[in-house]
């Protein structure tokens, strides 16, 4: 079992440093949920199909991440509060090269 | 008033399967759903996506699963109130419930089973400060009557099918149609994208991309919207009569949240040691809408919960009747429509 360390700033601005496994087929949205950094029902609503934007986050660090798929691109085009560094957490698969990643959760859509 | 034995709120896979289990117990069901078709998320969000964890189905498309469930429950003739959202619930003196929808349709049943999934799908609203002030005063999220826009100046925002389709439709109705989208690219049927291109070239639709609506102005009624071009700090004030943001749907627990049910983590707390009943006797919650220790939001768990709920509902309706669960292999399936399915009988015959 291998873990990487990532920093997640929650919607209240609180910083959390958490361990994320690279061998559990997890994505960033699921890591946030597993540590309950956002209330259930406010993140990962579509279950990780890039069909809602409840797991939108801003990537603060300079990590090179995989390109956005067409689905992610299209969803971000419809989402609110989108910035240039916006990504959908559910589309970011946890890998070794994400060690040290820092992300901030986007505000909840009401 | 519609009368039934079990009133199911939500016509997703869990609600549909509850009809089957209730039918085996000779209980009638009626379903209410805010969407215009049955199937819930499976039909609305991901009909073409495969599901791999339905027992006995190595792979099934979400849309196919719904078709199969509809076929399976057909003999039990469920009633449907579709395109209406369950709004209020009242308990009568005989302990039965009356549930009324947003369109005023009334339903009466001794048992209510909430199978509401993530909630009802509501239009996603853009984050604009004074948006609520102009709702129904120039701002609408759903087009009910296109004639409202006859000879009006209309701005539509969004980049999906509904934004494209309504822009095309209103081009012939409104005096001016402006389509604003955050990207240059649109996500929709190729045909629609091409039609908008055509109408734009013909000067019948103004296209503003990449751009965003960032403000609304007006005294009582909407008078103008502020449009900002992406990558440009300047914003223009654009005179309009109507603004229609079409950003798709997102699920909200909605009015059910005000029914006096115990809510935890945006879900309804139920008794998972017994029958998935809520804190109000006679009201059950099954599938993704409920929560209990160890809850998993899986379709297969919803099926299980629906089955136990029906047994409990039966005992509530008929407290004095004795009953034991019967296998369909043994008892077959007798529909309310007179149909009967059963295992073929073996013959006892000597071979000479």
Rounded to a whole number of angstroms, the distance from the CA of B180 to the nearest CA of chain A is 12
Residues of A in contact with B267 (CB under 8 A): 40-41
What secondary structure, in 3-state letters, does chain A show? CCEEEEEEECCCCCEEEEEEECCCCCEHHHHHHHCCCCCCCCCCCCCCCCCCCCCEEEECCCCCCCCCCHHHHHHHHHCCCCCCCEEEHHHCECCHHHCCCEEEECCCCC
Say yes or no to pLDDT of A106 above 70. Answer: yes
ipTM above 0.90, yes or no: no
Residue with tokens 């989208």: B181
The answer to whether residues B194 and B202 touch, using CB atoms and an 8 Å cutoff, is no
**Mean pLDDT, residues A79-105:** 94
Q: Which of B181, B212, B247 is the last residue of a domain?
A: B247
Give the Cα separation of B23 and A23 in Å (integer).
45
Q: Do B199 and B297 share a domain, yes or no?
A: no
Tokens encoding A67: 């390109």
Q: Do B164 and B256 share a domain, yes or no?
A: no
Give the Cα separation of A18 and A3 in Å (integer).
9
Give the Cα separation of B30 and B77 in Å (integer).
9
pLDDT at B231: 79
Tokens encoding B99: 């549930």
Q: Do B141 and B213 share a domain, yes or no?
A: yes
Q: What is the pTM of this model?
A: 0.82
Q: Is residue B346 part of a domain?
A: no
Q: Do B243 and B136 share a domain, yes or no?
A: yes
B46 is in an annotated binding site: yes
Q: Which of B247, B265, B288 is the last residue of a domain?
A: B247
Q: Do B160 and B235 share a domain, yes or no?
A: yes
Q: How many CB atoms lie within 10 A of CB B197?
A: 13
Q: Do B136 and B227 share a domain, yes or no?
A: yes
- The total domain count for chain B is 2
What secondary structure, in 3-state letters, does chain B show? CEECCEEEECCCHHHHHHHHHHHHCCCCEEEEECCCCCCCHHHHCCCCCEECCECCECCEEHHHHHHHHHHHHHHHCCEEEECCCEEEEEECCCCCEEEEECCCCEEEECEEEECCCCCEEEECCCCCCCHHHHECCCECCCCCCHHHHCCCEEEEECCCHHHHHHHHHHCCCCCEEEEECCCCCCCCCHHHHHHHHHHHHCCCCEEECCEEEEEEECCCCCCEEEEEECCCCCEEEEECCEEEECCCEEEECHHHHHCCCCEECCEEECCCCCCCECCCCCEEECHHHEECCCCCCCHHHHHHHHHHHHHHHHHHHCCCCCCCCCCHHHHCEECCCCCEECCCCCCCCCCC
The answer to whether residues B42 and B63 touch, using CB atoms and an 8 Å cutoff, is yes
Does B252 lie at the interface with A, CB-CB under 8 angstroms? no
Q: Do B234 and B259 share a domain, yes or no?
A: no
Say yes or no to pLDDT of A110 above 80. Answer: no
At how many degrees (to 10) do helices B161-170 and B190-201 cross? 40
Q: Do B262 and B204 share a domain, yes or no?
A: no
Length of chain A: 110
Tokens encoding B144: 């009910």
Q: Is residue B74 part of a domain?
A: yes
Q: Is residue B292 part of a domain?
A: yes
Residue with tokens 């960032």: B214
Rounded to a whole number of angstroms, the distance from the CA of B158 to the nearest CA of chain A is 7
Q: Is residue B352 part of a domain?
A: no
The domain spanning residue B332 has which CATH number? 3.50.50.60
Give the Cα separation of B344 and A91 in Å (integer).
50
Q: Do B240 and B226 share a domain, yes or no?
A: yes
pLDDT at A1: 60
Q: Do B56 and B42 share a domain, yes or no?
A: yes
The answer to whether residues B106 and B99 touch, using CB atoms and an 8 Å cutoff, is yes
Q: Do B304 and B235 share a domain, yes or no?
A: no
B41 is in an annotated binding site: yes
**Mean pLDDT, residues A40-44:** 88
B327 is in an annotated binding site: no
Say yes or no to pLDDT of A41 above 90. Answer: no
Ramachandran quadrant class, A39 (left: phi over 0; alpha: psi -120 to 50; beta: rest): beta
Tokens encoding B264: 């935890």
**Mean pLDDT, residues A25-41:** 93
Q: Nearest 5°: phi and psi at B99?
A: -110, 130
Give the Cα separation of B331 and B133 in Å (integer).
60
Q: Is residue B43 part of a domain?
A: yes
Cross-chain Cβ contact B45/A39 below 8 Å: no
Q: Is the dihedral of CA B274, B277, B280, B281 positive or negative?
A: negative
Give the Cα separation of B121 and B99 in Å (integer).
19
pLDDT at A37: 96
Q: Residue A72 CA to chain centroid, in angstroms?
A: 12
Q: Is residue B351 part of a domain?
A: no
Q: Is residue B349 part of a domain?
A: no
Domain holding B105, by residue range, is 2-121+250-341
Which mean pLDDT values do the consecutive 10-residue runs of chain B (352 residues) have? Answer: 98 98 97 94 89 97 97 98 95 97 96 94 87 93 91 94 93 95 85 94 94 93 93 87 90 90 92 96 97 95 98 96 89 93 86 88
For an interface test with B, the pick among A53, A77, A81, A109 (most B C-beta atoms closer than 10 Å) comes out as A77
pLDDT at B345: 82
Q: Which of B247, B271, B286 is the last residue of a domain?
A: B247
| Structural domains in chain A, sorted by start | 3-105 (3.10.20.30)
Q: Is residue B114 part of a domain?
A: yes
Cross-chain Cβ contact B183/A42 below 8 Å: no
Q: Do B73 and B137 share a domain, yes or no?
A: no
């Amino acid at each position: 079992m291998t873990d990487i360390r990532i920093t997640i700033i929650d919607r209240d601005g609180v910083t959390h440093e958490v361990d994320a496994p690279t061998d559990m087929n997890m994505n960033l949205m699921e890591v946030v949920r597993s540590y309950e950094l956002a209330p259930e029902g406010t993140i990962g609503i579509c279950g990780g199909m890039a069909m809602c934007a409840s797991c939108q986050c801003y990537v603060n660090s300079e990590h090179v991440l995989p390109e956005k798929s067409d689905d992610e691109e299209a969803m971000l085009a419809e989402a609110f509060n989108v910035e240039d560094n916006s990504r959908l957490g559910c589309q970011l698969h946890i890998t070794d090269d994400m060690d040290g990643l820092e992300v901030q959760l986007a505000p909840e859509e009401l | 008033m519609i009368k039934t034995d079990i009133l199911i709120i939500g016509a997703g896979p869990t609600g549909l399967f509850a009809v089957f289990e209730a039918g085996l117990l000779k209980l009638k069901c009626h379903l209410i759903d805010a969407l215009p078709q049955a199937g819930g998320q499976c039909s609305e969000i991901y009909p073409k996506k495969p599901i791999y964890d339905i027992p006995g189905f190595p792979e099934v498309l979400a849309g196919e699963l719904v078709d199969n469930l509809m076929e399976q429950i057909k003999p039990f003739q469920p009633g449907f109130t579709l395109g209406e959202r369950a709004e209020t619930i009242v308990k009568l003196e005989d302990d039965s419930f009356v549930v009324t929808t947003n369109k005023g349709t009334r339903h009466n049943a001794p048992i209510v089973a909430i199978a509401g999934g993530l909630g009802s799908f509501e239009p996603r609203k853009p984050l604009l400060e004074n948006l609520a002030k102009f709702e129904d005063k120039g701002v609408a999220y759903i087009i009910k009557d296109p004639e409202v826009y006859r000879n009006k100046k209309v701005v539509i925002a969004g980049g999906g099918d509904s934004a494209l389709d309504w822009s095309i439709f209103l081009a012939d109705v409104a005096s001016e149609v402006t389509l604003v989208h955050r990207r240059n690219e649109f996500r929709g049927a190729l045909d629609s994208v091409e039609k908008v291109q055509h109408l734009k070239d013909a000067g019948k639709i103004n296209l503003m991309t990449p751009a965003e609506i960032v403000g609304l102005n007006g005294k009582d009624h909407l008078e103008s919207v502020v449009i900002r071009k992406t990558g440009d700090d300047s914003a223009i004030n654009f005179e309009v009569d109507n603004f229609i943001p079409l950003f798709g749907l997102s699920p909200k627990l909605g009015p059910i949240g005000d029914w006096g049910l115990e809510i935890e983590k945006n879900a309804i707390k139920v008794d998972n040691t017994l029958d998935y009943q809520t804190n109000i006797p006679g009201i059950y919650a099954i599938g993704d809408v409920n929560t209990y220790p160890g809850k998993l939001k899986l379709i297969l768990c919803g099926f299980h919960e629906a089955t136990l709920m029906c047994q409990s509902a039966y005992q509530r309706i008929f407290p004095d009747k004795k009953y034991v669960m019967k296998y369909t292999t043994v008892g077959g399936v007798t529909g309310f429509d007179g149909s009967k399915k059963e295992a073929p009988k073996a013959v006892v015959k000597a071979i000479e």
